[in-house]
């Protein structure tokens, strides 16, 4: 099975966002990954609802919104209204994660939970049956263009086992430092969705890079 590919617009040219989204529409990308950062959960600020809305206006693929923000419950409805198809919140930012996931589902979005590199996968056991997606951060969240953390391979393999054991439908998404060099190994250990920012948007031919990622894991 080919992985899904979700290019992260964080690395795109914001002054030409419409052109960048049209490039993704015409590519083999499956989802458009949208990184929201608040300067509190992570040490960087990206953009908020108005930009998500602007992306939605041109996107012909689902918006995969990754909320790197504290108290995400306060903004779930706003992001849904801005055009999110899936909403991923951070495990570390949600004391009442079950309720947060319920709210995301009530809004009609796919619900995802993201784990920082140090966060164990075992903490997901009781919420996994309710999730559509688990996002494994393979860099510390906050910035594009960082080096992939090698421990992520074992972590993903462990998560794959846990998902099977509890019988969850959740797909595994990996985010941070993903490139054609590590994509096949990631798919082999259990990844379903590859997020890639800088490797796509800094490429000479972004659509060709997306096509290469799409072939990851195929023998």
Task: For the chain, list the strands marked E by DSSP.
Answer: 4-7, 32-37, 63-68, 86-90, 110-115, 133-137, 171-175, 193-196
Q: Which is nearer to ligand DX5, 38 or 132 (CB)?
A: 38
Active site residue 175: yes
- Gap between the Cα atoms of 212 and 206, Å rounded: 10
Q: How far is the CB of 11 from Zn ion (least distance, A)?
A: 11
Which residues are known binding-site members? 8, 33, 35, 66, 142-145, 175-177, 197-198
- Gap between the Cα atoms of 6 and 201, Å rounded: 12
Which residue carries 């041109």 as its tokens? 58
Q: Which residue is nearest to ligand DX5 (CB)?
A: 197
Which residues are known binding-site members for substrate? 8, 66, 142-145, 175-177, 197-198
Under the binding rule (CB under 6 A), the answer on residue 177 touching ligand DX5 is: yes
Site string for ligand DX5, 77-116 (x = CB under 6 A): ----------------------------------------
- Gap between the Cα atoms of 93 and 42, Å rounded: 11
Q: Which is nearer to Zn ion, 40 or 165 (CB)?
A: 40
Active site residue 85: no
- How far from 213 is each of 121, 166, 169, 178, CA to CA, in Å? 25, 29, 23, 9
Q: Which is nearer to ligand DX5, 134 or 199 (CB)?
A: 199
What are the catalytic residues? 35, 175
């Amino acid at each position: 099975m080919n992985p899904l590919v979700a290019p992260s617009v964080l690395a795109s040219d914001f002054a030409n966002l419409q052109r960048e989204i049209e490039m993704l529409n015409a590519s083999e990308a499956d989802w458009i990954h949208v990184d929201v950062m608040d300067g509190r959960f992570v040490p960087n600020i990206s953009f908020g609802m108005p930009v998500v809305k602007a992306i939605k206006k041109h996107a012909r693929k689902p918006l995969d919104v990754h909320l790197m923000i504290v108290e995400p419950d306060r903004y779930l409805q706003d992001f849904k209204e801005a055009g999110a198809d899936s909403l991923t919140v951070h495990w570390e930012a949600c004391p009442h994660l079950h309720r947060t996931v319920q709210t995301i589902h009530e809004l009609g979005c796919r619900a995802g939970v993201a784990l920082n590199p140090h966060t164990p996968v075992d903490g997901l056991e009781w919420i996994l049956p309710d999730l559509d997606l688990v996002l494994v951060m393979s860099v510390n969240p906050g910035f594009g263009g960082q080096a992939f953390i090698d421990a992520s391979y074992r972590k993903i393999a462990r998560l794959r086992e846990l998902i099977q054991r509890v019988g969850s439908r959740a797909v595994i998404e990996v985010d941070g430092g993903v490139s054609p060099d590590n994509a096949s190994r990631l798919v082999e250990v259990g990844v379903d969705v590859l997020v890639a920012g800088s490797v796509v948007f800094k490429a000479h031919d972004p659509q060709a890079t997306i096509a290469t990622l799409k072939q990851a894991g195929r023998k």
